[in-house]
Structures are given as structure tokens and as C-alpha cells.
Structure 1
Amino acid sequence: MCGIIGVASIGPKDDVLAKITLDALKSLEYRGYDSVGMASMDSSHLEVRKCAGNVEKFEKLRRPLSMKGTIFLGHTRWATHGEPNDINAHPHLDCTGEVAVIHNGTVLNFLELKHDLISKGHKFTSDTDTEVIAHLIEHFRKLGMDNFSAFKQAIQSIQGDHAVLAIVKGDNRIFFSKKNNPLVIGLGDEMNLISSDIWSLIHVTNRTIPIGDDEIGHITATSIYAEKLNGEKIDLKSRLIVQQIDSSAISLEGYESFMIKEIRESWGAVRDTIAGLMGDVEIGKAVKALDRARRVFVVAAGTSFHAGLIFSLRLLRNGKTVIPVIASEHEFLETDEDDAILVISQSGETMDSLLALKRFKSNGSFVISLTNTLGNSISSYSNVALHTRAGPEIGVAATKTFTSQVGALLLLSSMIIGESIDYLKEAETVVANSFSKSIGYMEKIGREVANKSSMYYLGKGLGVPMAMEGALKIKEIAYIHAEAYPAGESKHGPIALVEKGFPVIFVNTGELVDELRNNLKEMQSRQARTYVISAGPELKSDSETREIVLEVSDPRLTTLALAPPLQLIAYYAAKERGTNPDRPRNLAKTVTVR
């Protein structure tokens, strides 16, 4: 889940290339912030600077803007092999100091390779799996191979999913290879770039070319080249995508964090998503495939899975056979040509979802995807690729992308069911009004629960996936243990933990209100500290319960209305606890490891 960036330019431009690389690393930091490093190179030198910690610490301690060269590599790490420290930070060098490598992924056979290379006299300095790639390139160069052949042979020697960039002193090429992990080329002015995602390139260029799986090649300042591992050449420029992105979307623009900025962008993102899909001819193909399928499998992970549960429940209530699948558990299920698969992923690069897609498609199933970026891996493997229009989301915790997914899935499910979609004209207003009305209440709730160690989120019907999303958010960014349950299930064990002051948040979508009110009273009788977020009829509980009632023009929009308040509770709890909502510990936004 690391972030990698390579920049190749015609000539040195003072500190411009170093700044481009550093700015890209700041954009990529959501992919990991355990350690950071950069390499710079020209015809006579290759220099590496790196350290444990985030980009801000790296910039302060290692002064990367003083680095010079025409070729730069940058890496921000989410640790897998080896603890986060200065030595394990990327880039990694070979014994000669002439080869530098950065890597996103895992080398499954690295111990076997490492022991073999040590027996041949190689000296390793880190605990990472990545370092074997640098030594393999060195080994094959010593056997007389040219640089690209040595790189290619090294890639063919490793096992596992990867995106790799490598440079060799005196060579003006950045070598690359991709298998399952994301990689995209950016075409600039007298400069080419290659990175883990388009957001890190957008401040330089909006012209991008996605790299496919099992493709290998190189870029220079003026050229791009790729081939399959079997040597078949690839016409990269035929894949050119001109991204329509406002660069302000990746700037804080005066906000204290990306998370609060992106929550505020939710209603515009929902509007753009629904309008874009209604004008997309692909949605008709998706509706037809999902409607005629014997079974519909909804595959996703994390927040996207919760959005998928909302879609699944709506179809289940209308007689469709729908099976929600947590992507990492896909191997326990079988599909066939009569099934349709809906894969939901914000990035389009989530490894578990991508592997599930490939497996189910190989069974003959028809695959529809819903992602937020153009030119991603999941879209490229899908029979029909649909996209939300949320724009870049820099905060690790999904906010506007979740709300946009819910909007897209409401539209898609309504079209499958055959109901009017006129109610979605109010989607933007409902989300905006929910934010405006709830922000003060949610700040108070967030600050109140911030000193608690554990809490529950309870709901009924469509309130259950919303409760799950609320619990996930506060775990992610405030580090408070939270569990979500169907409210009636709380009597079957969870209520044993409830004592005086235990926080319980009820998510009320207006379904089974009387039953939900009874569940609330059960918690109150155990002296729980109860809160209610209602997008339906008020529960009208006692005066000790803090309840907010949101205005919703149509009951089908309740899930959209509930998203901002649940996100705001987590945000303000994180602020009160002094944690960084944009960079939660141990997490990366795009999970590209199994």
C-alpha cells in the first residue's frame, strides 16, 4: 500500500524536480506514512535520502529540496516487511550503490532469493523484501546483461503482486513493472512521470496512461516504452486519458483538514455522481445485466462494503437474490455465467476486490464495477465500468466517496427495481441540509464520546449498514472501539457490556420505529448514555437522550442524510483526542496487499 513516484526531465531545473517529487509524495502519503525517501540522479551521481516518519518529518530532517538531478524517485511506505525505521525506508540500493529501487507490494519468495544472493557475496542492509530486487538487478548486470534486460530478469525472478520503479546510475531511464498494484504514467512538458495514482500527477499534468498487469518498460523525459513479459510491444499512447480534475481538489484551501473539507464537498459530489451516471450509456448495460442475473454478488471491502449492503438490501426487498461478499472472503464462493458481479471500490485498485473480480470473471460471470477514478485496474477488467464523480479524496477515511457511492447505488437499484428516480433530484439538498443542521450537535457528541474506550452503534433495516459505517469511522480516526449491531440483536449478548455512561448511538431511518424505541429504552434502563440521529419519525425518548431529527424529503434518501452526521461525530472525536483525522495510524487509503 506504499506510494511511489518517478520523474524524468530533460535537464536540471534547480530544485523544481525535487519539489515536484516532494509534492507528489505529499499527495501519495495517504497510501502509507511509516517512512519516506527520495533518490536523485544524473549522469555522474546517484543520491538517496530517507528516514522513518511522515513527509513533513522527512522534509525537515533530510532537506530533499536541495537534491539535484534529472531523474528522481520518491517513496512513502506502509510497512510490511521490516519495522518502520531509517534503514528499511525506500529507496534501496545494491552493493555498488549504482541501482536504486522503490516498490509497492510484496516479494513472496524474498527469503529464498536473499539467501541465494548472500551466498553469492551480496551484502544486505535492511529487513525489507524490496532490497532483493536491487541486488537481483546488480547480479544480472554482472552476468553481462544490459540494464533493461537485467531489470526484466529480476522481475521474472520475484513472486507476488508489485509495482516497481528502478534506476541505474548513468542511464536516463526509469524502469517499471506492474502486477496487480496500481501504476500510471503522466505525460508532462519536457518531462514524464510515473506514479501509484493520478492525484499525485495532477499538479503537473492531466494526461495519463494506465499501466496494465504483467507489463514492463521504461520512461525517459521524452519517451515511454512498454511490453508484455513475453516481449510483445504495447501501444501505450492508445490508452491516453485526459483527466478532468480541478487541481484545487487536492489542496486544503484554508481548511484545517482534508476530512472536514471533503465532508463539506459531499453534496456536490453526490449531485455530480447522479448527473454523470444518468448521462452514461453504460448504466443501461449494467441495469440489464443485474436485472436478468440469476444471482447478484456485491463485492467490496471496508466502507464500500457498507454502501454495497444498502444496495443489496434494496434489491433483496424487491425479490432479487443478492449475496453481499466481503472481498477478502471471496474464495469461499463460486459463481457461474448466470451470475452478475457488482464490484465497488473507491480507488479501483483494492487488491482483494480485484482478485475477486478476476476469479468470478474467469467463471463466466458478468462484471460491473463502480469506482471513483478513470483508468484503474478494476475498471479495466470489468464488462461495464461505472464511475462516481466525487473527485480526489485525500483523507484516508472515506467521506464524500461513500456518500457518492450511496447516491450512485440508489440510482442503480431504483432503475433495476423499475421505480421513478425523480426523488434523487433532492439528493444534493438533503445531504447539504443534513450537514448544516447536524454539525453543531455532532461536535458536542464527538467531544462527549472522545474520552470513552468503547461504544455501540445500533439501527434497524437500512440503519444497520449506516451504523456499521459510523462505527468504522470512529474506530479509524479516533481509535475508539466501536461495534455496530441490528438494534434487536443487542439483547443477545452485547447489552452485557452496557453500564452507566456507556455511549450508544441509535441510527434511525424511520423503519420499525416502535421497535427501535423499545431498544432505546432497554439501553436507557441500563443507564447507557444514548444518542439518536433520526432521518425519520422522531423516537421521542426521554430528555436525557440527545436526538437530532434531519429533514428528508423522501424516505429513500435517509441513508444519504445520515452520512454527514456519522462522519462528523468521528471527526470531532478525533479532534478532541488530538489524533490526525487525515492520517490515522496503521492505515492506508488504498489497500493493495492481500
Structure 2
Amino acid sequence: MCGIIARIGGDDGAVDELLTGLENLEYRGYDSAGLAVKNGSGPEVFKRQGEISHLKEVLADEVPDGGLGIGHTRWSTHGPPSDENAHPHTDCSGDVAIVHNGIIENYDELKADLLARGHEFTSDTDTEVIPHLVEESLAEGADPETAFRETLEKLSGSYAVAMITKHDHAVYATRRGSPLVLGVSDGEYFLASDVPAFLDFTDDVIYLDDGDVVEVRPDGHRITTADGEAVERSVQTVEWDPEDAGKGGYDHYMLKEIHEQPAALRQTLRGRADPTTGDIHLEEFPPGTFEDVKRVQFVACGTSYHAGLVGAQFLSDSGVPAQTFLASEYATGQPPVDDETLVVGVTQSGETADTLSALRRANASGAKTLAVTNVVGSTAARECDDALFIRAGPEIGVAATKTFSSQVVSLALLGERLVRDVTGTRSPETRERLDALSDLPGNVQQILDYTSARRIAKRYHDSDAYFFIGRGAVRPVALEGALKFKEISYEHAEGFAAGELKHGPLALVTDRTPVFAVFTGRNDEKTLGNVKEAEARGAPVVAVASDANDEVYQHADEVLTIPETHPDVAGVLANVQLQLVSYHAADLLGRPIDKPRNLAKSVTVE
């Protein structure tokens, strides 16, 4: 949520590149946008409620000159969406312009003091206290960097901030619990919340650590700690092509990313598993890495939480005690951990605030921590003891698709290593499971080529509600199917453990509530019994199953077919079919699929 972009270059060109960066950040979710450009005098600010197209309309008559500027996409926290609440925010004189992600927890107190000293505020935001505090330090004779640092010392909370002033030709920025990355190119620099913001211009990046303060000028940059000590951060090259972050001819990023799953899964699996020998090759975790682990706890949010449920189910079934916790609950009521506990944070971005908080609490309690993430250099990857990268490539659509599949496969591989290290044994099903994993990319492609999801979505698109059920390892798939459906279609959808349907939810079942039931070849007879319960109440049933299950075909009104595979892997295939149903249902309803209302791709506040 919220996005920062800054461009530092020559004498002009800032506006066009800032607008490109803002458009590249749209996937994070926003309700207003703005930018400030440093020209011959002070910062010139342009901002509007609504989409970036509204900001472009303001700039259409005259694009200001300038080679240095900052921009922002806002997702409302303090104050509703409005022109006044959009970023950048300025001080009383307009000499200081600020963009900010995160939350200033003590802003009420700071604002009251500033008002008492005669400052005038024009917004409802917590952000606006920052430029006014800088203004006071400048008035007392501080230079811009000192004024920036003195202001930071007064702030409590989680934030990333970028500042330009009338007084010099530089951008000052910092991060504390909110992501910020520096892009390095010939003759120009960029600062952003996420790499895709400036990927059109450079793929060389420097990941900033919490507390870093960076001063960036057209001729170079300087990074210091919160205490002012100079530090060096290495330049890394991001292995993403700008085209990877585009739509590639698809109507929506989500559809493109659903179709990228075969390639993403090949990347996830490449070099990591050998079905012929049953060996697992995780370079980060050679045999014996986890031999001291006695229990595993997964912490995650949303879609990543569902992937964590799959990972915990696999470990529990294999004899390793494992639980999955919602990170937001774990952070406020952490279960007991010790040095024999492995806490695995599953987070696509590596910047999810609740997950980071949970990992930090676990680490402070003596647990070993591990991040399963998509982003090299992310906060989770750098703060945890270890990291496993899912290698899914950039995902722009707010609704996670290919990253869920890659998370589940990554956790399956990690699970195999954990089982061997913790129990000293190898599952008798290992080779079959690894064979099924190696077949996944081709099987997913088969679904994409022959799915009937659009026809089924059209048949049921005017229903009152949608229920998703599954048992065991595919209960998380039912939960994920319902989450996808509700977040992009805005229709009511719920996921249940199949056996729980009769313990309450069955009261809601009618002939206008289709039930999507996931079958994997394991415990199918029990799930079929639950299907019959729904069928007896007149509910249409859509089964997700292989064509080998004849009895399912007899009781289902529709079947979304998946290739026959190992039961532990079938959930990934079933999930692809449910993703497609959700996509087509939302498309038929004309929803803004890539930018669902009130949601953001990267949730960086608790």
C-alpha cells in the first residue's frame, strides 16, 4: 500500500519518469497521486484524488521543467481520499515537500504542538507534521540534512520518507519498517518503495536497511546510519526484465500471471529436486541444516497464510510438529518458542508488516527464523536467519496467483528437507511426490489450455453466494478459492473444511449458492458425502477433480477437471482452476480486477 518514487538527474525529464514510476506502482493500491518537482525555485507540487490519469490531466497544459522530484500513490489511512490529503505535503512556506509511507504514531501530539506554535495544516494526514518539523529546524539554522535527521528523531512509528527542499538540489530519504530501495543508473538515480517502479530505467539496485539515511544528488549518493556513520551498501542486479512487469497482451495482470504459472513453477523447481533419486538440492539448506529443530511455526497473512497451512499439513502428516498462525495474531499473542523452534515467515513481498513483526518477536524469543519470499533483498530476507526464494518473478496484480503456487511448491521442497533433518528418515512417497512436482508445470499448462472456467463462471454469475469446501491438504485451497473470489468479484464467498459444512454453514445453502468442492484422490468419499448434503438442499455442485473419479461426476452439476496426480500436489492444480473461475466471474461483472477496491498488494502497516 502507498508507493514512493523519486528521480534524481540532470536539468529536466523528471516529470515523465516520475509518472512512469507512479504508473508502475499502481498495483500496490492507491486512491490519490501526486508529485513535486524541484525547478529553479522551490518545489512545485501537483496532486489529485483518484487515478494517475487525473494527475496527468493537471499536468497536461504545462509540464514543469526539472531533473529532480518525488512522487507518491496514497492509500488512505489518516483522512479520506481528497486532493488535500494526497501527497506530497509541504510546510507553511512551501519550501519543503515530503512523501511518506507508513504511520506516524505520535502525530497527534506533534500536530498539537505545531499548531500551538502557529503552524497551519491543510490536510488530515499524519504525514503533514514532517515538513513542518523540518521547517522549524531550518528556521533555527540547520542545513537540510540536519533538519531531516532532527525531524526523524521526533517521529515514532513505521515509515519511509523522501524529501526535497528549496535550499539544495538533493533528495533525502530514510526507512524504518517500510521498504525503500535505491536505483542506480548512468547519470541518474531513483528511490522507490519497490523495484518495478524504476525497472524501465535501471535494474541495478541498492537495498536500504532500517535506519539508513540516504542523500542523493545527480552526481552521487551517500548512505549513513541513523547515528550519521557512513556505510556502504552493495549494488545488486535484479533479474527481472521490464517486460516481466507488463501485461504482455493480456487484458489484466492477473490473467497474465495465472498463465505464467507453468514458467514460474519451472523456475521454483529448477535444480532443487531430483525425482529419479529422491534427492533434494537446496543450496541454502544442505542436509543437516535443521537437525536441531523440534517444531515448526508458519506465520503469514492472506494468501500466504493459506500456503503456510499447506506447508504445516505436509509436515504434520510426515511426523514433524507444525502449526500455522495468522501473523497479525501471532504478533500480539505469540505462542511459546525456544531455540528448537523454527519460525517460517511466508510473505510474497518480504515487506508485510504483520509478518515482519511476528518474525521479530520470534527472533527476540530465541527462535530460528526463515523467510520464504519472492523478493531478494527484502526486509524479511535480510532480517531472518535464512531465506528461501520462490523465484516466481514480479507479480503486479493485487490478487496473488503465481506466487501462491510457487510458495506451496517451495514449502513442499523445504518440508522434504525438514522431514529428513528432523526425523532422520525419508517418506516412502518421496519419489512419487517429486515426480508429481516435476510434472506440475505441464499439468498446469494443460488446465490453462482446456479449462471450462469461463463457461462455469458465466452459468453461476448471478448467484447469491459461493461456497468452497475441501478436506485435509486442500482445505487451504478452498479457503484460497473463496478469498480470490471475494477480493476481485466483490461477491460473497466463503471457504470451509468440507466436514464443517453441516455444522452451521449448511443453513445458508440454497439453490442459489453453488458449492465448489475440491477432490484430490484422498478422503474423497468423505468429501463426496458433504457434496450430497449440499445437493439434497438443491445447491448446484461444481467439483474440481480428475476425470478418474467417476462417482464425483455422477453427483456434480459441473466438473473442473485436473490431471491425475499425487494427492499432495493436486491442490496446486485445483487452485489454478479456482483462480480462473474467480477471474472470469469478476471479468463478467466488469470489476477492476488488478486493483480491487480497498486492497493493496503490499500491506506495510499493521
Tell me which interval the TM-score lies in, with the shorter structure as reference length.
Answer: over 0.9
Look up the match of 1:471: 482
Deviation at 1:541, TM superposition (A): 4.5
Deviation at 1:448, TM superposition (A): 3.2
Letter in 1 for 2:191: I
Structure 1 residue aligned with 2:155, among 153, 158, 163?
Answer: 158
8 Å contact 2:258–2:401 — kept in the other structure?
yes
Report the 3-state secondary structure (helix = DSSP H, G, I; strand = E; otherwise coil) of the residue aligned with 1:256: coil
Alignment of 1:210-359 (within 5 A): 210-236=207-233, 239-275=234-270, 277=272, 282-285=283-286, 288-290=288-290, 292-330=292-330, 331-332=332-333, 333-359=335-361
8 Å contact 2:144–2:167 — kept in the other structure?
no
Count of matched residue pairs: 586
How many Å separate the matches in 2 of 1:64 and 1:267? 46
Deviation at 1:422, TM superposition (A): 3.9
8 Å contact 2:532–2:555 — kept in the other structure?
no
Return closer, same or farther for 1:305/1:543 CA change in 2, 3 Å cut-off: closer
How many Å separate the matches in 2 of 1:552 and 1:56? 47
Letter in 2 for 1:350: T
> Does 2:181 match 1:184?
yes
1:464-521 deviations in whole A, cap 9, x for unaligned?
0000000000111001121111111110011011122211111112221111111111
TM-score by length of 1: 0.95
Structure 2 residue aligned with 1:119, among 116, 119, 122?
Answer: 116
Structure 1 residue aligned with 2:571, among 545, 548, 559?
Answer: 559
8 Å contact 1:177–1:216 — kept in the other structure?
yes
How many Å separate the matches in 2 of 1:60 and 1:510? 56
Look up the match of 2:20: 23
Farther off after superposition, 289-298 or 156-165: 289-298
8 Å contact 1:207–1:240 — kept in the other structure?
yes
Return closer, same or farther for 1:495/1:291 CA change in 2, 3 Å cut-off: farther
Report the 3-state secondary structure (helix = DSSP H, G, I; strand = E; otherwise coil) of the residue aligned with 1:425: helix
8 Å contact 2:215–2:221 — kept in the other structure?
yes
Structure 1 residue aligned with 2:445, among 402, 420, 432?
Answer: 432
Report the 3-state secondary structure (helix = DSSP H, G, I; strand = E; otherwise coil) of the residue aligned with 2:130: helix
Deviation at 1:240, TM superposition (A): 1.4
Look up the match of 2:412: 410
8 Å contact 2:543–2:552 — kept in the other structure?
no
List alignment gaps of at least 5 residues for structure 2: 274-279, 420-425
Return closer, same or farther for 1:11/1:444 CA change in 2, 3 Å cut-off: same
C-alpha RMSD over aligned residues = 1.7
Look up the match of 2:499: 488
How many Å separate the matches in 1 of 2:62 and 2:530? 59
> Does 2:467 match 1:444?
no
Look up the match of 2:92: 95
Report the 3-state secondary structure (helix = DSSP H, G, I; strand = E; otherwise coil) of the residue aligned with 1:284: coil
Report the 3-state secondary structure (helix = DSSP H, G, I; strand = E; otherwise coil) of the residue aligned with 1:450: coil
Letter in 2 for 1:504: V
How many Å separate the matches in 2 of 1:489 and 1:565? 23
Look up the match of 2:403: 401
How many Å separate the matches in 1 of 2:44 and 2:249? 35
> Does 2:521 match 1:519?
no
Return closer, same or farther for 1:538/1:544 CA change in 2, 3 Å cut-off: closer
Look up the match of 2:422: none
Deviation at 1:289, TM superposition (A): 4.3
How many Å separate the matches in 2 of 1:215 and 1:385? 22
Deviation at 1:276, TM superposition (A): 5.5
8 Å contact 1:276–1:389 — kept in the other structure?
no
TM-score by length of 2: 0.94
Return closer, same or farther for 1:199/1:539 CA change in 2, 3 Å cut-off: farther
8 Å contact 1:51–1:89 — kept in the other structure?
yes
Letter in 1 for 2:549: P
Letter in 2 for 1:394: I
How many Å separate the matches in 2 of 1:490 and 1:428? 33
List alignment gaps of at least 5 residues for structure 1: none
8 Å contact 1:303–1:402 — kept in the other structure?
yes
Structure 2 residue aligned with 1:461, among 451, 454, 472?
Answer: 472
Letter in 2 for 1:563: N
Deviation at 1:544, TM superposition (A): 6.1
Look up the match of 2:8: 8
> Does 2:132 match 1:131?
no
How many Å separate the matches in 1 of 2:204 and 2:37? 24
Letter in 2 for 1:284: F
Look up the match of 2:191: 194
8 Å contact 1:395–1:582 — kept in the other structure?
yes
Report the 3-state secondary structure (helix = DSSP H, G, I; strand = E; otherwise coil) of the residue aligned with 1:44: coil
Look up the match of 1:586: 598
8 Å contact 1:533–1:549 — kept in the other structure?
yes
How many Å separate the matches in 1 of 2:552 and 2:386? 46
Structure 2 residue aligned with 1:532, among 535, 538, 543?
Answer: 543
Report the 3-state secondary structure (helix = DSSP H, G, I; strand = E; otherwise coil) of the residue aligned with 1:66: coil
Deviation at 1:290, TM superposition (A): 4.2
Letter in 2 for 1:6: A
1:180-214 deviations in whole A, cap 9, x for unaligned?
10000000110011100111121111110011111
1:108-136 deviations in whole A, cap 9, x for unaligned?
11111111001111000000000000101
Deviation at 1:281, TM superposition (A): 5.0
How many Å separate the matches in 2 of 1:281 and 1:514? 37
Return closer, same or farther for 1:82/1:539 CA change in 2, 3 Å cut-off: farther
8 Å contact 2:46–2:58 — kept in the other structure?
no
Deviation at 1:559, TM superposition (A): 1.8
8 Å contact 2:464–2:512 — kept in the other structure?
no
Deviation at 1:61, TM superposition (A): 4.2
Return closer, same or farther for 1:276/1:141 CA change in 2, 3 Å cut-off: farther
Look up the match of 1:387: 389
Report the 3-state secondary structure (helix = DSSP H, G, I; strand = E; otherwise coil) of the residue aligned with 2:495: strand
Deviation at 1:390, TM superposition (A): 1.0
Deviation at 1:324, TM superposition (A): 0.6
1:75-110 deviations in whole A, cap 9, x for unaligned?
001100000011100000100001000000001111
8 Å contact 2:32–2:48 — kept in the other structure?
yes
Report the 3-state secondary structure (helix = DSSP H, G, I; strand = E; otherwise coil) of the residue aligned with 1:106: strand
**Percent of paired sites with the same residue:** 36
Farther off after superposition, 272-281 or 486-495: 272-281
1:312-354 deviations in whole A, cap 9, x for unaligned?
1011011111011111011312311111111111000000111
Farther off after superposition, 262-271 or 553-562: 553-562
Letter in 2 for 1:235: E
How many Å separate the matches in 1 of 2:462 and 2:242? 38
1:155-193 deviations in whole A, cap 9, x for unaligned?
111110000001101411101111010000000110011
How many Å separate the matches in 2 of 1:168 and 1:465? 50
Return closer, same or farther for 1:168/1:130 CA change in 2, 3 Å cut-off: same
Deviation at 1:52, TM superposition (A): 0.6
Return closer, same or farther for 1:80/1:179 CA change in 2, 3 Å cut-off: same
Deviation at 1:280, TM superposition (A): 6.9
How many Å separate the matches in 2 of 1:297 and 1:203? 39
How many Å separate the matches in 2 of 1:280 and 1:248? 30
How many Å separate the matches in 2 of 1:193 and 1:64? 26
How many Å separate the matches in 2 of 1:553 and 1:530? 22
Return closer, same or farther for 1:144/1:270 CA change in 2, 3 Å cut-off: same
Structure 1 residue aligned with 2:588, among 568, 576, 582?
Answer: 576
Letter in 1 for 2:552: K
1:215-263 deviations in whole A, cap 9, x for unaligned?
2221112211122212222112xx2111111211111122111110110
Report the 3-state secondary structure (helix = DSSP H, G, I; strand = E; otherwise coil) of the residue aligned with 1:540: helix
